[in-house]
Structures are given as structure tokens and as C-alpha cells.
């Protein structure tokens, strides 16, 4: 092999090595980029809405569009047929249980919609209880489980952590202000996950 061919061969080998060195990071970066959406996906915690809070999410002026049906709150912002919070005479930001039951497709239209949370029970909203009355809501024998913290009454009946009206030595039907603030590892932050149903009588 003459010097010219040897030089060309070496140049080709160096060029291939350089290309290999640069393509590996590019392939790696592409793989990382493809993985980002899955890694950054966050599951939202369910929220409890009053009718007044739900009304804000009417799909207007950039707001998301939520509806409530049978106590469940659905996100219809990107729902098929929903434009700016309206669909065939239905308006977002409201409990449309009766209207959707009477609709041609009924609740079948809800099956593919994301569930955002639940609607607060209007029968319990605005309760004013004395501590003696609160004691009746102990979560036992089918009764609801309520607790009071800083004068506010919370419904923990449906919380997975309050089975039978008890949680880590705490018992429902009581004012647990001191216990929640000084003994619970999560403190008052845990109360963000449960609905407010009333207040303690002053």
C-alpha cells in the first residue's frame, strides 16, 4: 500500500471514529427526550368541590371546564363536543346530573373523561355542631366520621386512612386540634385532602 492510500485509509478511520463519537450522545439525548413526558407525568390528587367552587371552572376565559354528575367531578376541557364550556345545551361549572341522565347518550359519554374529584355533599355543607353533637359522628356502625380542627369540621368518612372512624390512635367525633398539630407527622396538611362540612358552635 502506497503512502497516499495509507493516508486516505487513516483519514477515513478517523472520520468514522469522530462520527461514532458524536452520534452516541445524540442518540442518548433523543432517548432521554422521548422519556421526558412519561417521567414528568403527575397524577393529580382528587379535590372536593362545593357548587360555588365548581362554578369557577366554566370553560370561559381560559378556565378549565368541569362538570359534576352523581357527585363525581369530570374534566371536559378537552372533551369531545365540548367547546368553551358548552356542549349541546349543557354548561360546564355546574352539577348536570339530571340533564345528562335525560340526554340521548346518558352517562356513557363520561367513561373516557378524566375524574378530577368529587362534589361536596350539599346536605352537610354549613353544619354548625356543638362538641357533644360532633361526638355522634364517630364513623362507627355506618355513621359518618367527622373531626374538628381549629373550629372547622372535616368529613373523613371516605378517607382511606380513617377506617371505622380511627386513624393512628386518633378517633373521629372529636376536636383533634392539639393531636393533629402536635402529634400527627403530616400535621394540618392532611386536611387538604378531606372536605369541610361545617364548624364548631362557638
Find out whether 114 and 80 touch, Cβ atoms under 8 Å. no
Instruction: Select the more confidently predicted residue: 197 or 138.
Output: 138
- Name the nearest CA neighbour of 124 among 194, 180, 175, 35: 194
Strands 127-129 and 196-200: parallel
Confidence band of 86 (pLDDT split at 50, 70, 90): very high
Residue 120 has pLDDT above 70, yes or no: yes
Whether the per-residue pLDDT at 38 is higher than 70: the answer is no
Q: What angle do CA 125, 192, 136 make, to 5 degrees?
A: 45
Amino acid at each position: 500500500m502506497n503512502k497516499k492510500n495509507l493516508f486516505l485509509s487513516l483519514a477515513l478511520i478517523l472520520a468514522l471514529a469522530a462520527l461514532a463519537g458524536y452520534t452516541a450522545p445524540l442518540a442518548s439525548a433523543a432517548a432521554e427526550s422521548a422519556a421526558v413526558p412519561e417521567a414528568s407525568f403527575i397524577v393529580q390528587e382528587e379535590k372536593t368541590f362545593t357548587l360555588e367552587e365548581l362554578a369557577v371552572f366554566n370553560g370561559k376565559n381560559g378556565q378549565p371546564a368541569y362538570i359534576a354528575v352523581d357527585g363525581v367531578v369530570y374534566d371536559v376541557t378537552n372533551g369531545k363536543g365540548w367547546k368553551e364550556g358548552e356542549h349541546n345545551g349543557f354548561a360546564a361549572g355546574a352539577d348536570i346530573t339530571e340533564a345528562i341522565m335525560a340526554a340521548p347518550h346518558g352517562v356513557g359519554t363520561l367513561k373516557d373523561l378524566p375524574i378530577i374529584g368529587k362534589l361536596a355533599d350539599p346536605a352537610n355543607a354549613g353544619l354548625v355542631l356543638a362538641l357533644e353533637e360532633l361526638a355522634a359522628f364517630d364513623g362507627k356502625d355506618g355513621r359518618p366520621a367527622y373531626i374538628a380542627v381549629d373550629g372547622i369540621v372535616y368529613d373523613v368518612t371516605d378517607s382511606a386512612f380513617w377506617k371505622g372512624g380511627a386513624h393512628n390512635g386518633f378517633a373521629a367525633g372529636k376536636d383533634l386540634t392539639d393531636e393533629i398539630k402536635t402529634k400527627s407527622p403530616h400535621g394540618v396538611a392532611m386536611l387538604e385532602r378531606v372536605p369541610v362540612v361545617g364548624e364548631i358552635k362557638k
